[in-house]
């Protein structure tokens, strides 16, 4: 596992790798959302069932367009979403028909967020696309909030290629998750 170096993280993303990185409140695990081998590595690493789905995190809304079908939302709903971004708000929106079921799970929707964390912003900008974002933990355990906790939780596991050793933004709670069509809060 490597310490923070944007080029190491980008290399891992480009070569079916999995990275751990800081988000607004916890460390996340990420990979290229167009690489099913890498997505499966995350599911295996977390011991998470694929039917639950995963979040996509991006530097801007344009990066999410190939995955989320924003055309299914009226202008008011889209404005409600964009008014919360960038920031710790995840929205469940209609998915593009081509989206991998490893991302959407058993749903016709996808959870998406435009982050305001500077490290993730830089990463997604340099990669020019969103990345998978799921909490860095084994399913059922508390999410890691430091790079050291990530190292301890995943010691001996060769599925994690790079850890970006930078701090989380410090929010006390995970990002809110809301349904775009109803505004209902899921988390």
Residue 37 to residue 29: CA distance in whole angstroms? 14
pLDDT in tens, 73-116: 999 999 999 999 999 999 999 999 999 999 999 999 999 999 99
> Mean pLDDT, to the nearest integer, of 11-24?
96
pLDDT category, 71, cuts 50, 70, 90? very high
Q: Mean pLDDT across the stretch 36-50?
A: 95
pLDDT of residue 157: 80
pLDDT at 155: 80
Tally the C-alpha atoms within 13 A of residue 115's C-alpha that lie toward its C-beta.
Answer: 30
- pLDDT given at position 175: 78
CA 130 – CA 152 distance, rounded (Å): 27
What domains appear along the chain, each with residue ranges and CATH number? 6-179 (3.90.870.10)
pLDDT confidence tier of residue 3, bands split at 50, 70 and 90: very low
pLDDT in tens, 142-180: 999 999 999 999 987 888 999 999 999 877 777 789 999
pLDDT, mean of residues 1-29: 87
């Amino acid at each position: 596992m490597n310490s923070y170096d944007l080029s190491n993280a980008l290399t891992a993303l480009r070569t079916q790798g999995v990275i751990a990185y800081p988000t607004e409140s916890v460390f996340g695990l990420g990979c290229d959302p167009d690489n099913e081998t890498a997505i499966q590595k995350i599911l295996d690493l977390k011991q998470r069932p694929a039917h639950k789905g995963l979040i996509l995190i991006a530097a801007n809304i344009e990066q999410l367009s190939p995955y989320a079908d924003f055309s299914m939302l009226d202008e008011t709903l889209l404005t409600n979403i964009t008014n919360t971004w960038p920031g710790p708000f995840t929205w469940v929106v209609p998915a593009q028909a081509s989206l991998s079921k490893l991302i959407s799970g058993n749903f016709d929707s996808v959870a998406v967020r435009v982050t305001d964390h500077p490290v993730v912003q830089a990463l997604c900008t340099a990669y020019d696309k969103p990345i998978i974002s799921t909490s860095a933990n084994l399913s059922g355990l508390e999410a890691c909030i430091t790079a050291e906790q990530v190292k301890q939780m995943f010691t001996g596991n060769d599925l994690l290629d790079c850890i970006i050793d930078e701090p989380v933004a410090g929010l006390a709670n995970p990002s809110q998750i809301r349904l775009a069509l109803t505004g209902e809060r899921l988390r």
